[in-house]
Amino acid sequence: MALTVVHRALPALASRGLAEAPWHFLADLLMNRSARRLLRTADLVDLQWEEYGRLAPLIRKLAPNAATTCMFHDVNEQKLSRAVDAAGDKESARKALRDRARNRRLLRRAAPALDRGFVLSEKDRVLLDGCIPGLPSSVVPPPLVDDSTPLFDVGSRPPVVGFVAALRRHENRDTALRLATHIWPLVRAARPDARLRIIGGGLEEGPRAQLSGLPGVELTGFVDDLDEAYSGLRATVSPIDRGAGVKWLFNFERGGALK
């Protein structure tokens, strides 16, 4: 049995440049006896996202017989190193250096409890190896379009632009809000019939209320079939400034991505 520990129930955390530990999830895990029973009998526990990988030592204690892995969708080292390079003054630079050093400490503390790490690109594998040398890692190529995927004439489609993302992630939630409230009104001023379709689950009630009812903006929630969702779009847009790698590649391969 494989048990994937996901962050579906965790409210998105405010972005502070360094993803914090998922305390709500951790509390639920410790108080939920059914979850602990599942962990004790699990063969594999796969932690999703770097901040959840930090829980590996605890998971190892709760699931002593399970292999424990982590899928690093984004390796925070790159974002934190960019913050160091972009710091405009000494105080900002010191804070950025502290954040990066703290992130490295947390990763190295978790590493002995992980059997393997998974990343989505060779670039991220190199970054991960620089943070926690010795951790076995594998690259899992994202499921992009191949030669067997049919191409479509999008010019005949209605003027619908899509933003597709897991909206429980604060990077994606913030982007959806910025896109709908600051960017899309400019598009609508030039093209009044244009519609923005925000596709993905996990959006909390506050942001959902902000987005609902905005002119030309639609929320679909989670969709079972992404191929069907993409088939109704003229183009996709990904105006995201962090954590964008696979989303950008996937949208680009679908044909019609704008960044």
Nearest to 67 by CA among 9, 118, 132: 118
Predicted local confidence at residue 149, as pLDDT: 61
Tens place of pLDDT for every residue, the chain, 259 residues? 444 444 443 333 333 333 455 666 777 777 888 888 888 899 999 998 888 898 899 899 889 999 999 999 888 888 889 889 989 899 999 999 999 999 899 899 999 999 999 998 899 999 999 999 999 999 998 766 566 665 666 677 889 999 998 888 888 899 999 999 999 999 999 999 999 999 999 898 899 999 998 999 999 999 998 888 888 888 888 886 655 444 544 444 444 444 4
Predicted local confidence at residue 27, as pLDDT: 75
* Phi/psi-derived region of residue 17, left when phi > 0, alpha when psi is between -120 and 50, beta in every other case: left
Predicted local confidence at residue 248, as pLDDT: 43
Q: Which two tokens stand for residue 168?
A: 């429980």
* Residues 6 or more apart in contact with residue 24 via CB below 8 angstroms: 9, 10, 11
- Give pTM, 2 decimals: 0.65
Query: Strands 44-48 and 2-5: what pairing?
Result: parallel
Predicted local confidence at residue 2, as pLDDT: 44
Nearest to 53 by CA among 132, 133, 114: 114
* Phi/psi-derived region of residue 213, left when phi > 0, alpha when psi is between -120 and 50, beta in every other case: left
Predicted local confidence at residue 30, as pLDDT: 76
Predicted local confidence at residue 150, as pLDDT: 59
Q: Are 118 and 137 in contact (CB under 8 A)?
A: yes
What 60-64 contacts at long range (C-beta under 8 Å, 24+ apart), as own/partner pairs, is 60/113, 62/29, 62/36, 63/3, 63/39, 64/40
Q: Are 88 and 65 in contact (CB under 8 A)?
A: no
Q: Pinpoint the alpha helices (H) of the chain.
A: 23-31, 33-41, 50-53, 56-62, 76-86, 90-110, 122-131, 170-178, 184-190, 205-211, 226-231, 245-254
CA–CA dist 254, 152 (Å, integer): 10
CB half-sphere exposure, 98, CA atoms < 13 A: 7
